[in-house]
């Protein structure tokens, strides 16, 4: 064979190989690196549940039409051994990601943090409802974990006062955090709040940290608009505690009734049989009537000294209160407030 002919054949063969290689590289690029995850939003969340197998992940990706080339994703997942390393969690997918980026993200376990805001919560059930929308566990499992006997014993609380352990605030959690992990984190925050300085202030009243939480919950229920009044209210109730006078706090009766729609406490409410009836019983109730904010807790610790033992909501419905040491003055204010309620048609 002539040298020229052989050379031409080699060049032709090389060209064919180059074309085939180019096509192969293009197919490889299209399958693994070409942006194949498209949706209308800039980003979208996907949830992989605990216990899921690879086929569960594939079913979700395909049913929600997250990936355009399922077969390519399967091949890549096999190459990178993702099929046997499924990590549950909440993941943020960016519009325009490719299969390689998606597999790397899911293999990393790098979850999108959740933010949970705990404010204006009265009961453990309410807390469980909020938390249940943020983590994998449902509210029933959360309530069970919080009220578990071993949990209560471990942290030194009981069913009546466990809500005191949850200091309101905004917290960062992961979707896969278990109720037990969340409770542990909240207890750490509780211990961090109760510094030596705060414990000494409580002891000087004298109240235990738990008792401060109970009183703070009452103060907060009485005044949720003006923090400036909270130390005054706290001082008033501390005066009553020291004089062994019933606190006579209407919000405790509402809590005892369990009907938080009540806007006006009636005489019949004052006769309800409950340890939370502070008209019937002296001292503090057995537990908080809400989860008091740090400002309410500090208001008790830094209470304002006075001779006040009475308070009445102002008749202008401003949310402020009138404070006095005079029973006569208190009655005059109460009459004005009742007339204002009647004028507005508030009977319950």
- Using CA of residue 285, residue 236, residue 194, residue 121, what is the dihedral sign? positive
Q: How many domains does the chain have?
A: 3
Q: For residue 308, what are the β-bridge partners?
A: none
Taking only the tens place, the pLDDT of each residue in 298-316 is 999 999 999 999 999 988 8
Nearest to 199 by CA among 291, 219, 225, 207: 207
End residue of a domain, out of 175, 193, 211: 193
Interstrand relation of 114-118 and 89-94 (parallel, antiparallel or unpaired): unpaired
| pLDDT value of residue 348 | 76
> Which residues have CB under 8 Å from 316's CB, separation 6+?
340
Name the nearest CA neighbour of 342 among 317, 311, 312. 317
Q: What percent of the chain has pLDDT over 70?
A: 89
Task: Kindly state whether residue 264 falls inside one of the protein's structural domains.
Answer: yes
Tell me, yes or no, whether 81 lies in a domain. Answer: yes
Q: Which CATH number goes with the domain that contains 90? A: 3.30.1490.480
Last residue of a domain, one of 193, 218, 239: 193
* Cα–Cα distance for residue pair 231/224, rounded to 1 Å: 12
> What are φ and ψ of residue 313, in 5° steps?
-65, 140
pLDDT at site 28: 46
Residue 3 lies in a domain: no
CB atoms within 10 A of CB 215: 28
ω into 204 cis (within 30 of 0) = no
If one counts every other C-beta atom within 10 angstroms of the C-beta of residue 168, the result is 20
**CA distance linking residue 301 with residue 296, whole number of Å:** 9
Q: Are 122 and 290 in contact (CB under 8 A)?
A: yes
- Return d(Cα 113, Cα 110) in angstroms, integer: 9
Instruction: Supply the range of the domain harboring residue 41.
Output: 35-112
**168 shares a domain with 104:** no
Q: In the listed set 154, 172, 193, which residue is the last one of a domain according to the structure? A: 193
Q: What is the CA radius of gyration of the chain?
A: 32
CA 173 to chain centre: 9
Do residues 333 and 324 make contact, with C-beta atoms less than 8 angstroms apart?
A: yes
Do residues 294 and 330 both lie within one domain?
Answer: yes
One digit per residue, the tens of pLDDT, for the chain of length 348 reads: 555 665 665 555 565 555 554 444 444 445 555 566 777 788 999 999 999 999 999 999 999 888 888 888 999 999 999 999 999 999 999 988 898 999 999 999 999 998 999 999 999 999 999 999 999 999 999 999 999 999 999 999 999 999 999 999 999 999 999 999 999 999 999 999 999 999 999 999 999 999 999 999 999 999 989 999 999 999 999 999 999 999 999 999 999 988 788 877 888 888 889 999 999 999 999 999 999 999 999 999 999 999 999 999 988 888 899 999 999 999 989 889 888 888 877 767
SS (H, E, C) 128-157: HHHHHCCCCCCHHHHHHHHHCHHHHHHHCC
Same domain flag for 211 and 333? yes
Give the separation between CA 11 and CA 186, rounded to whole angstroms: 72
Select from 226, 187, 218, 185 the least CA-distant residue to 292.
218
Report if residue 30 sits inside a domain.
Answer: no
Q: Are residues 213 and 294 in the same domain?
A: yes
| 343 phi/psi in degrees, rounded to 5 | -60, -30
Q: What's the pTM?
A: 0.84
Answer whether residue 72 is part of any domain.
yes
Nearest to 320, CA basis, from 329, 333, 332, 331: 333
Residue 19 lies in a domain: no
Asked whether residue 184 is domain-assigned, the answer is yes
> What backbone phi and psi angles, to 5 degrees, belong to 266?
-105, 170
78 domain-assigned: yes
User: How high is the pLDDT of residue 279?
Assistant: 94
Cα distance between residue 48 and residue 86, in whole Å: 8
Buried b (16+ CB within 10 A) or exposed e, 268-279: ebeeeebebbbb
Looking at the structure, tell me whether residues 200 and 218 fall in a common domain. yes
Which H or E run contains 77? helix 70-79
Is 48:88 a contact under the CB 8 Å cutoff? yes
Residue 72, pLDDT score: 86
Residue 42 sits in the same domain as residue 102: yes
């Amino acid at each position: 064979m002539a040298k020229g002919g052989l050379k031409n054949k080699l060049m032709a063969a090389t060209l064919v190989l180059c074309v085939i290689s180019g096509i192969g590289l293009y197919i490889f690029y299209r399958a693994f690196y070409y942006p194949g995850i498209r949706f209308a939003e800039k980003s979208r969340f996907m949830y992989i549940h605990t216990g899921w197998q690879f086929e569960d992940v594939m079913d979700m990706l395909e049913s929600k039409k997250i990936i355009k080339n399922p077969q390519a994703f399967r091949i890549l997942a096999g190459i990178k051994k993702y099929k046997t390393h499924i990590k549950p969690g909440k993941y943020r997918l960016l519009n325009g990601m490719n299969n390689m980026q998606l597999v790397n993200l899911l293999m990393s376990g790098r979850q999108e943090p959740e933010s949970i805001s705990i404010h204006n919560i009265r009961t453990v059930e309410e807390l469980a409802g909020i938390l249940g929308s943020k983590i994998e566990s449902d509210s029933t499992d959360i309530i069970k974990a919080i009220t578990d006997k071993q949990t209560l014993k471990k942290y030194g609380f009981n069913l009546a006062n466990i809500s005191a352990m949850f200091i309101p605030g905004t917290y960062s959690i992961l979707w896969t955090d278990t109720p037990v992990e969340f409770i542990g984190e909240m207890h750490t925050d509780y211990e961090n709040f109760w510094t030596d300085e705060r414990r000494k202030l409580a002891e000087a009243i004298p109240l235990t940290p738990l008792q401060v939480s109970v009183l703070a919950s009452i103060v907060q229920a009485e005044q949720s608009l003006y923090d400036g009044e909270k130390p005054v209210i706290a001082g008033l109730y501390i005066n009553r505690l020291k004089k062994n006078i019933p606190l006579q706090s209407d919000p405790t009766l509402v809590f005892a009734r369990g009907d938080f729609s009540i806007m006006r406490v009636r005489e019949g409410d004052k006769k309800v049989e409950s340890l939370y009836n502070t008209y019937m019983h002296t001292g503090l109730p057995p537990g908080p009537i809400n989860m008091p904010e740090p400002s309410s807790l500090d208001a008790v610790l830094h209470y304002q000294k006075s001779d006040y033992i009475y308070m009445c909501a102002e008749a202008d419905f401003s949310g402020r209160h009138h404070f006095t040491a005079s029973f006569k003055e208190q009655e005059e204010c109460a009459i004005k407030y009742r007339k204002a309620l009647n004028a507005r048609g508030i009977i319950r």
